[in-house]
Amino acid sequence: MGKVTGFLEYEREDRGYEPVEERIRHWREFVLPLPEADCRTQAARCMNCGVPYCQGTGSLAPGTPGCPVNNQIPDWNDLVYNGDWDEAARNLHSTNNFPEVTGRVCPAPCEASCTLNIDENPVTIKSIECAIADRAIAQGLKPERPALRTGKNVAIVGSGPAGLACAQQLARAGHTVHVYEKWAKAGGLLRYGIPDFKMEKLHVDRRVAQMQAEGVTFHYGAHVGVNVPAQKLLAEYDAVVLAGGAEKPRDLPVPGRELKGIHFAMEFLPQQNRRVSGEPAAPGEPILAGGKHVVVIGGGDTGSDCIGTSIRQGALSVTNFEIMPAPPLHENKALTWPNWPLKLRTSSSHEEGAERDFAVMTTRFSGGAGGYVERLHCVYVDDKMRPVPGSEFEIAAELVLLAMGFVHPLHEGMIKSLDLALDRRGNVSASTDDYRTSIDKVFAAGDMRRGQSLVVWAIREGRQAAHAVDEFLMGESLLPR
């Protein structure tokens, strides 16, 4: 424990944002890092709790306390307080392959579970994590090449955080790793879903370069089950890990859904990320919010990203509807802590000018000339999702973005051609004991196994699956579980 009285002496201070009027004029990150001295002061607030809920309990259930990758948070808080940034970086990388990513986009269940959150002043764990990672990267990311090669080959399908973490762990264990990615670049939703203003893509590029130097081979435009037969991977590799995400979006099949101008979030967001990085557009008409009244349906992370992107594109207005009732502004700590609480969360994108409303159900879309959507017809619902009589209303909508989550992985292509067993939610069935699917030597990890989740869970699953694959190939594994 760095400073015994730190939590009594110092108030919580976290990273700030560029003002709204400046940040909406560009696509870059706008979070302002804490100066080194402030980071160390904030780390001094850590109490090195006897039971540090921040670092997780090892439970696998969603919503359980703390960090899903079990970052050793009190240890690196102490190291940062004492100015030993190198050891802090070594410690952090021992549990998390991409802490600069989680330091930017993780919702920080660690902070919700921090003992100091009991009075709403948790240690600024996420900002300290990001500072440790960014300082280490500024000194140059060095490849960690294995001392011995095992002669075993592993194919990984998908280069999102689960596939990348799995690939890095297996390459460091000495296996020959090939990653198959259907898109033109690596990163999955880190690259094509999460907008640049939340996380610039150089963070992914750097890690890909590090992994290439560690011996990982990336195959782009390689759509397994479509232009790369899944059976070919089974024939050519000693093990195959499926980390293809949960890409099937939840639809809104109400009258008028066929009108032009109604799109899934993941039709809209990747286009903008490609524009920012200068990547050629994928086939299909450009979807742009500029000069339009935009309605975003769905109140989660994906909806927030659609809001921030629409505002930066110059939307006339952005309205965000959520079918669930508004959650409480503050949670009842006595009931919720140290678990992840249900409460109203206002993202930086919401602050940029979106109107939000809750308990709103869309009943139909209507359009005009050319078959384009013009209006959204809605009704308020009660706590049992029943329409409230007389509460019907309508709103102008020239672009509608559906951000209501993802139901499961795409079944067409790879999953069907391998005839994989699915769980009752339609995800690839594999247990967290060994990550093995219904087919011999085929493993699954990340959103493809778990369903729609978070980056930090994907990293955890990639690491755990790597341990399982290593053990399967070698009879034992020194990779951490």
Ligand X SMILES: Cc1cc2nc3c(=O)[nH]c(=O)nc-3n(C[C@H](O)[C@H](O)[C@H](O)COP(=O)(O)OP(=O)(O)OC[C@H]3O[C@@H](n4cnc5c(N)ncnc54)[C@H](O)[C@@H]3O)c2cc1C
List interacting residues with ligand X (CB under 6 A).
Answer: 105-106, 157-163, 180-183, 188-189, 193-194, 222-225, 243-245, 265-266, 269, 301-302, 305, 413-414, 446-448, 453-456, 458
C-alpha angle with apex 242: 239 to 244, nearest 5 degrees? 155
Q: What single-letter amino acid sits at 358?
A: F
Alpha-carbon distance of 222 to 205, in angstroms, equals: 19
CB 71: neighbour CB atoms within 10 A?
24
Closest CA to 228 of 183, 182, 178: 182
Determine the 3-state secondary structure of 200 from DSSP: coil
Per CB under 6 A, does 262 bind ligand SF4?
Answer: no
Q: Which does 447 bind (CB under 5 to 8 A by kind): ligand X, ligand SF4, none?
A: ligand X
Site string for ligand SF4, 104-123 (x = CB under 6 A): ----------xxx------x
Closest CA to 69 of 473, 459, 467: 459
Residue 366 phi, psi dihedral angles, 5° rounding = -130, 155
Q: Which of 24, 39, 44, 73 binds ligand SF4 (CB under 6 A)?
A: 73
Kindly tell me which of 72 and 159 has the beta carbon lying closer to ligand SF4.
72
Per CB under 6 A, does 367 bind ligand SF4?
Answer: no
Contacts of 440 (CB under 8 A, 6+ apart): none
Closest CA to 379 of 357, 397, 399, 396: 357
Q: To the nearest whole angstrom, how small is the minimum distance from the Cβ of residue 379 to ligand X?
A: 27
Alpha-carbon distance of 297 to 279, in angstroms, equals: 28
Q: How many residues bind ligand SF4 (CB under 6 A)?
A: 15
Q: Which of 20, 49, 184, 395 binds ligand SF4 (CB under 6 A)?
A: 49
Contacts of 100 (CB under 8 A, 6+ apart): 130, 133, 134, 137, 203
Kindly tell me which of 117 and 169 has the beta carbon lying closer to ligand SF4.
117
Q: Which does 295 bind (CB under 5 to 8 A by kind): ligand SF4, ligand X, none?
A: none
Q: Which of 31, 34, 43, 47 binds ligand SF4 (CB under 6 A)?
A: 47
Per CB under 6 A, does 52 bind ligand SF4?
Answer: yes
Per CB under 6 A, does 91 bind ligand SF4?
Answer: no
Per CB under 6 A, does 339 bind ligand SF4?
Answer: no
Q: Which residues would be at the binding site for ligand SF4 (CB under 6 A)? A: 46-49, 52-54, 73-74, 77, 114-116, 123, 125
